[in-house]
Amino acid sequence: MRIGVTAEFVGTNAGGPETYCTNLIKRLGQCDTGNEYHIYVNQKSARKQFSNLSENVVPHHLFGGSRWIVVPIAQPLAAALHGLDLFHATFAAPPLLPIRSVVTVCELGFEKHDDFYPPLMTYRLRRLHRRGTRRAERVLSISEYTKQDLIECYGLDPAVIDVIHWGVSERFKPAASREETAQTIDRYKIREPYILYVGKFEKRKNIPRLLKAYHLMKMESKHPHSLVLVGKRSYLFDDIDPTIEKLNMRRDVKILENICRDDVVDLFKGASLFVFPSLLESFGIPPIEAMACGVPVVASSATAIPEIAGDAAYYCNPTNITDIAAAMNAVLEDNNVRTDLVAKGFKRAALFSWRNTVERTVEAYKKVLR
């Protein structure tokens, strides 16, 4: 059978969806040698990335560039041209598709929290997801939280939804020594020790409150830690820099944008604490990556984060600056708390593997192709 898999986010530094697509595609051909996989990318660099995987994995660079053209036009044409038996849309399905489909739903925040998204994006995502999920033979949800949103927002039959958690790459592991990460930390001129945030810079990530909480903690304690924010400016992020300036924290806060993935791994390994105060997540990979590196985690108690992080995070109310500050201070001050979180974190992170993600995904394909 011929199966098409979309990968329009690969090569765009798009966070979770890009990490998911990359790890899924790199393992599909090895996990399932009986089917032929056609991979549809927007970026030429992504095609090169997938060119030497397995004989049954064939990457294609689609015309159009913009997702506004690729998703509704180029992807359906490619599906017809290559004679696909099944089409897997890893984010949003084309509105018109002549074959059976599987759709991964990475988030539905735009249905309930449209203030976190630009109006045009909200309109487009609602139209694509509503039509795509209702037409699909199987819908892959990345969390139980998102599954409930699918049932509530779109009225989907729970029987057609497979909850398939994302994984953690094997390269996320504790540093053997300070020397392993020193070159990266020194190159970015990071003042140690440091607290780390990794993720996009956008409204739902709650970074201004994190900055205010960090400032409050510094005012009320003697912790010498700097704060390192790693990510990519996305949309609705305009209040980050003004907050830093207003609080006079330019010397204490380091912002690193669009840095390579290997450097991000090193920064995880070198951190004293990872903090993730997001207001809205359908999964949230960074806390699990921090846990795999042996770094204690302070995390928001909102949306899907407790489902994923389990008992291995120190939770805070993401809308309460004082609570975020208190959580960070509690972990930094108490060695017993840190030790407990690290031990639980290793166990929690071990539950999430990309191999399991791929195997469960192939099972979903087989349900449709029987």
pLDDT tens digits, 118-151: 999 999 899 999 999 999 999 999 999 999 999 9
Token pair in block for residue 303: 């949306």
Token pair in block for residue 102: 């599987």
pLDDT at residue 43, as a whole number:
84
Average pLDDT, the chain: 94
- For the domain bounded by 2-167+353-369, which CATH number is listed? 3.40.50.2000
Q: Are residues 176 and 189 in contact, defined by beta-carbon separation less than 8 angstroms? A: no
What is the DSSP code string of 124-166? HHHHHHHHHHHH-SEEEESSHHHHHHHHHHH---GGGEEE---
pLDDT at residue 250, as a whole number:
94
Helix spans in the chain (H):
16-31, 44-49, 67-69, 75-81, 109-112, 119-135, 144-154, 178-187, 207-220, 240-246, 261-270, 285-292, 305-309, 321-333, 335-349, 354-369
Given a cut of 80, whether residue 238 has pLDDT beyond it is no
pLDDT at residue 23, as a whole number:
94
pLDDT at residue 237, as a whole number:
77
Q: Which of 305, 269, 311, 271 is nearest to 287 (CA)?
A: 305
How many CA atoms, within 13 angstroms, populate the side-chain half-sphere of residue 20? 27
- For the domain bounded by 178-349, which CATH number is listed? 3.40.50.2000
Q: Are residues 78 and 62 in contact, defined by beta-carbon separation less than 8 angstroms? A: yes
pLDDT at residue 187, as a whole number:
96
Residue span(s) of the chain under CATH 3.40.50.2000 come to: 2-167+353-369, 178-349
pTM reported for the whole predicted model: 0.94
pLDDT at residue 44, as a whole number:
81
49 pLDDT band (50/70/90 cuts)?
confident
Report the amino acid identity of residue 312.
A
| CA angle centred on 244, ends 239 and 246, rounded to 5° | 90
Torsion of CA 253, 259, 261, 264, to 10 degrees: -10
